[in-house]
Amino acid sequence: MAESQLYTLITPEIRELRAKTKAFMEEYIYPNEPVFRKAGPEADELMKSLRQRVKQLGMWAPHMPKEAGGMGIGFLKYVFMNEILGRSFWAPIAFGCQAPDSGNAEILWLFGTEEQKERWLKPLVNGDIYSCFSMTEPHTPGSDPTMLDTRAIRDGDEWVINGRKWFTSGAGRAAFAIVMAVTDPDAHPHRRATMIIVPTDNPGFKIVRSIPVMGEEHSEHYEVVYENCRVPITNTLGQPGDGFLIAQKRLGPGRIHHCMRWLGQCQRAFEMMCRRALERHAFGGPLADKQAIQWMIAESAAEIQAFRLLTMHAAAKIDRGEDARVEISLIKFYGAEVLNRVIDRAVQVHGALGVTEDTPLSMMFRQARMGRIYDGADEVHKMVVARRILNTFRQGQVYEFE
Ligand SMILES: Cc1cc2nc3c(=O)[nH]c(=O)nc-3n(C[C@H](O)[C@H](O)[C@H](O)COP(=O)(O)OP(=O)(O)OC[C@H]3O[C@@H](n4cnc5c(N)ncnc54)[C@H](O)[C@@H]3O)c2cc1C
């Protein structure tokens, strides 16, 4: 699809959806950010009431199909909405589309049995429970999950899971984890692992700690030990050995969701940078008049729009049911780099104010840095893009971005 055609998809319906999303952000999200940031009972109550309001507006779970309890708008239309939600860390929670629950809901929808959907997916999509995804281990490289060593051994009608995971985001409040464990060490590397649903009230599921991250004593990223953790075989997601196949299904859309939210973060930082450049006067005039600052603004505008069009293109490809591995990896590393550059420039233009907690920039900066690592480090995605493109040339063809 030509990129210009992507814009024709901004139908009156999408325009209205965007306007409603923006209005909600302005009325309920931005003014309440200080409350959410403080966390605690007041924030919880407020979030509960906002979620109710979103449901009443018919804007709940925009990432899920209608039959699964969501809006059913597909990927491309979701970009137009999610880039607005992504401007604030708390908006996706209010709209029931926050990570890692969104990715977990998608794989439960695609691979779950009827019983699993009833027990886990329904309350998850409805926002009654939270979940987590437990793949990365401290002692094996997350970039190469064929080296995972958490084991699940079959004992009668049960799996017995033993291993240590970390960066299991959201484990502290999750009702269940989807854990990736080796079930057949002798199989082909990509058939060794299986995804298994583990209720977090299982005595074998033990939270070791909330990992201090980027200056925050408490983070939502947890280290977890699975110690003789017994769950029924019926908790297997898909078939034994399907772990990598499902991981690809999960991580592909999950990466696009991150990119959509990052567009919102880029845009917010960009707007702050422009406003500050106009307001702040030094050396006889506003910062906006200095060429060095103008270059930052022009380069940021170009990079954000390139990132946006690439994201829309990848989303359109997924909506067409086509393989978008290259496109997804491309926006994952390019988007993470743009995100970091734009927020860094916004901090720079704000001077000392940019590193204080008086603006959202400091938190945005810390979060952005992690984006270059989670869901696959930049280098790994560059490797995937280059390998796939080179493979087509190896076969005597040309890789074309259609
Ligand atoms: C904020 C955050 C949230 C996360 N949430 C989750 C979660 O919910 N669930 C979960 O399971 N995991 C989660 N993770 C883990 C994340 O997926 C891993 O950190 C990531 O896959 C990288 O693995 P690693 O940290 O073990 O780094 P390693 O695999 O040890 O890699 C270290 C570095 O080596 C370089 N590198 C690796 N491979 C190559 C290569 N082929 N070529 C060149 N350089 C290379 C890269 O620069 C990389 O950053 C999260 C991580 C973060 C930071």
Same domain, 271 and 372: yes
Same domain, 135 and 59: no
Query: Which of 237, 267, 301 is the C-terminal boundary of a domain?
Result: 237
Same domain, 136 and 233: yes
Rg (alpha carbons) of the chain, rounded to whole number: 22
124-134: pLDDT as tens digits = 999 999 999 99
Whole-angstrom Cα distance, residue 94 to residue 50? 6
* 320 part of a folded domain: yes
Mutating to test ligand 1, I would choose from 134, 136, 257 the residue with most ligand atoms within 8 A of its C-beta, which is 136
Q: By C-alpha distance, which of 301, 172, 182, 162 is closest to 229?
A: 162
Whole-angstrom Cα distance, residue 164 to residue 207? 10
Same domain, 72 and 158: no
For the segment 362-383, the average pLDDT, to the nearest whole number, is 97
The Å distance, Cα 191 to ligand 1 centre, comes to 21
8 A C-beta contact, residue 28 and residue 52: no
Same domain, 90 and 158: no
Same domain, 192 and 229: yes
* 119 part of a folded domain: no
The Å distance, Cα 141 to ligand 1 centre, comes to 7
173-226: pLDDT as tens digits = 999 999 999 999 999 999 999 999 999 999 999 999 999 999 999 999 999 999
* 218 part of a folded domain: yes
Query: Which of 185, 202, 237 is the C-terminal boundary of a domain?
Result: 237
The Å distance, Cα 380 to ligand 1 centre, comes to 9
Question: What are 221's strand-pairing partners?
Answer: 169
Structure tokens at 372: 């270059």
CATH number at residue 38: 1.10.540.10
Q: What angle do CA 60, 179, 139 make, to 5 degrees?
A: 125
Structure tokens at 259: 């990119």
Query: Which of 237, 259, 290 is the C-terminal boundary of a domain?
Result: 237
Same domain, 254 and 383: yes
Mean pLDDT of the chain, nearest integer: 95
* 401 part of a folded domain: no
CATH number at residue 382: 1.20.140.10
Task: Report which ligand 1 atom has the smallest distance to the Cα of 377.
Answer: 49
Range of the domain at 135: 130-237
Mutating to test ligand 1, I would choose from 104, 132, 135, 143 the residue with most ligand atoms within 8 A of its C-beta, which is 143
The Å distance, Cα 119 to ligand 1 centre, comes to 31
Residues with CB under 6 A from ligand 1: 100, 133-136, 141-143, 167-169, 221, 370, 373-377, 379-380, 383
CATH number at residue 206: 2.40.110.10
Same domain, 216 and 304: no
Assign 3-class secondary structure to the chain.
CCHHHHHHCCCHHHHHHHHHHHHHHHHHHHHHHHHHHHCCHHHHHHHHHHHHHHHHCCCCCCCCCHHHCCCCCHHHHHHHHHHHHCCCCCHHHHCCCCCCHHHHHHHHHHHCCHHHHHHHHHHHHCCCCEEEEECCCCCCCCCCHHHCCCEEEEECCEEEEEEEEEEEECCCCEEEEEEEEECCCCCCHHHCEEEEEEECCCCCEEEEEECCECCECCCCEEEEEEEEEEEEHHHEECCCCCHHHHHHHHHHHHHHHHHHHHHHHHHHHHHHHHHHHHHCEECCEEHHHCHHHHHHHHHHHHHHHHHHHHHHHHHHHHHCCCCCHHHHHHHHHHHHHHHHHHHHHHHHHHHHHHHCCCCCHHHHHHHHHHHCCCCCCHHHHHHHHHHHHHHHHHCCCCCCCC
* 115 part of a folded domain: no
Q: By C-alpha distance, which of 259, 247, 388 is closest to 325?
A: 388
For atom 22 of ligand 1, the residue with the nearest CA is: 142
| pLDDT bucket at 76, cuts 50 / 70 / 90 | confident
8 A C-beta contact, residue 255 and residue 78: no
- pTM as predicted: 0.95
Q: By C-alpha distance, which of 294, 243, 301, 247 is closest to 271?
A: 301
8 A C-beta contact, residue 263 and residue 84: no
8 A C-beta contact, residue 127 and residue 51: yes
Mutating to test ligand 1, I would choose from 102, 198, 380 the residue with most ligand atoms within 8 A of its C-beta, which is 380
For the segment 259-264, the average pLDDT, to the nearest whole number, is 96
pLDDT at 252 over 90: no
Task: Domain count for the chain, please give it.
Answer: 3
* 400 part of a folded domain: no
Contacts of 153 (CB under 8 A, 6+ apart): 159, 160, 162, 183
- φ/ψ bin of 332: left (φ > 0), alpha (ψ from -120 to 50), beta (otherwise): alpha
The Å distance, Cα 145 to ligand 1 centre, comes to 10
Same domain, 320 and 258: yes
pLDDT for position 5: 59
* 186 part of a folded domain: yes
* 122 part of a folded domain: no
Same domain, 210 and 260: no
Same domain, 267 and 288: yes
pLDDT at 3 over 80: no
Same domain, 277 and 206: no
pLDDT at 299 over 70: yes
pLDDT at 4 over 70: no
Task: Report which ligand 1 atom has the smallest distance to the Cα of 137.
Answer: 26
Whole-angstrom Cα distance, residue 178 to residue 105? 11
Whole-angstrom Cα distance, residue 250 to residue 239? 15
